[in-house]
A and B are shown apart, each in its own frame.
Chain A
Amino acid sequence: MGERGRPVAGLRAYRLVAGMWVRSTMTYRASFVMTTFGNFAATFFDFVAIMLMFSRVDALGGWSLPEVAFLYGLSGTAFGLADLVMGSAERLGRRVRDGTLDTMLVRPAPVLALVAADQFALRRLGRVTQGALVLGWAVSRLDVAWTPAKVLLMPVMVVSGCGIFCAVFVAGAAFQFLVQDAAEVQNAFTYGGTTLLQYPPSVFGKELVRGVTFVLPLAFVNWVPATYVLGRPYPLGLPGWAAFAPPLVAVGCCALAGLAWRAGLRSYRSTGS
């Protein structure tokens, strides 16, 4: 398999395996409907908590409810999509332990695609739907002078944010080659990360904001571009073009995560544990 053919082969294998999982899920239709609704409801109440908070205060860190909802919707949608596409990667440690990874390694397809597509669950669309609804509501309530650049930035933010979270999932999976019970550590970065991004950067300490901007650049999922859209200053005084950097950050993160994955897989194949 040539290097150029790999992404194509990976996508093809992903589609095949994900399709099988969708059909498997549909054999238990009632269960599917209930878990999808459950997924939606759980995240819905998550947002209700924020709304309740605003019934007591007018602003959070200087941000109004529609503005916080804007952050929430962007983060929720981007994370929900990444969870749908790559979320299964967090089960890697378990797969190493029970040996199912070995069954994937004898297939004529890129392992990452097989790992990511395994247990593909459409019920995760519940979270995406909820995030998109909150985002839509926020946009309708925001007092923003929409320019073409700001409108264009909307889909760019969602897609790049999804890419950044996907990279976190893959890097976490790569780490699990070394430490197989690290799924909880990974959750801190994925679920923890998306929760963090639901609140304005102004409520957090400078050090944390700096870490989330420069070390693990989750801030590019929504904080940095959203402050531009909302016409607010970013706490760290980044240059104006930084708002348009998410695609670059996403590509960079994915490249690094890909390298980490390769290194992890190589280490597994040479140590077998």
Chain B
Amino acid sequence: MADGDSMGCGDGFIVLEGVEKVFEVRRKAGFLRRERRAVRAVDSISFSVARGEMVGYIGPNGAGKSTTVKMLTGILTPSAGRLRVAGIDPSRERGRLAHRIGVVFGQRTTLWWDLPLIDSYRLAHRMYRIPDARYRENLDRLVELLELGSLLDVPVRQLSLGQRMRGDIAAALLHDPEVLYLDEPTIGLDVVSKAKVRGFLRELNAERGTTVLLTTHDLQDIEQLCSRVMVIDHGRLVYDGALAGLHEVGEGERTLVVDLERESPPVEVASARVVRVEGPRQWLAFPAGRSAAAVVAELAARYPLVDLSVREPDIEAVIAKMYAEKAVS
């Protein structure tokens, strides 16, 4: 019934319906006694990702992000609900799924530490039974795009963190997976390395149509890569939509930073309020949904301005605010 159990979710490539994961946590309650307690790490999550989408999956630590990804990769079996990736039930057919997905664990390299980088790729070639011609082609392309040419003969232990991350991403893509899961792909990388990784992912998604699901703490990853964000907290999906919409949901505020000619008392404008004053520089907050132009116009008409800049709301703050509101309601 390989095709018989498509779930009627249209073009959903990754489909979750009421997926749950309950862990039984044993806690010491004495010398040998253990208390058992059920923890709902993922609580009835449903979503669908279309082929070729690039989705950010975010939330605080322990929210259930990695549990979800572990279910999607077949590492963990869901306690309830239905889950399909490329039409495959991951927990049942882990081996078959492995050929169609790529996984990059940000903080844990799967490259061979003491061997030249190329050796890890040769192993993937054989373990994934990649046809020779396709392996050559993919390797050449990845080496070029990820700038690995000069690194292939270098033992992995001598690579920098950024080089290693690029190496890991290439290793996960040699077998042409249709889905790529990335767990914190830019963690610990310098600005240049981050830019390289992001540039590559954009290109991969645009040119090859690879579906990408990434978990991250770096909000710039999301801003620069993902048109869609899912926010998970306490095992529940609390937001699923465009990044811009997240600001509105969280009622985020943008900040206008103005430099006046000289030190002065807080400015008075109708469309914004001053949140901070530091010498001639002042910070004005205004709702994220409103245009900055009106605020700037009003200011310029009444005060001598030297310079100004607009800052987007900090997504982390927006999410924190969302959580706070959920807790109240």
Contact = CB atoms under 8 A, between A and B. Distances in A.
B127 A24 contact: no
B77 A105 contact: no
B108 A106 contact: no
A270 B101 CA distance: 21
B273 interface: no
Interface string B188-227: 0000000000000000000000000000000000000000
- Interface size on A, as a range, is 20 to 34
Interface in A78-124: 99-100, 102-103, 105-109
B155 interface: yes
Given A13-B127, A108-B127, A102 B70 contact: yes
Contact of B98 (A23, A27, A108): A108
B119 A103 contact: no
Contact of A106 (B21, B67, B73, B113): B73
Given A99-B108, A109-B127, A1 B74 contact: no
A270 B114 contact: no
Given A108-B128, A272-B70, A20 B155 contact: no
A27 B96 CA distance: 34
Interface in A218-271: 266, 269-271
Interface residues of B, number: 33
Interface string A192-235: 00000000000000000000000000000000000000000000
A16 interface: yes
B119 A1 contact: no
Interface string B75-116: 111010000000000010011101101010100101011110
A105 B103 CA distance: 11
Contacts of A187: none
A103 B183 CA distance: 12
B223 to A, nearest CB: 28
B95 A1 contact: yes
A105 to B, nearest CB: 5
A44 to B, nearest CB: 29
Interface of B: 21, 23-25, 67, 70, 73-77, 79, 91, 94-96, 98-99, 101, 103, 105, 108, 110, 112-115, 119, 123, 126-128, 155
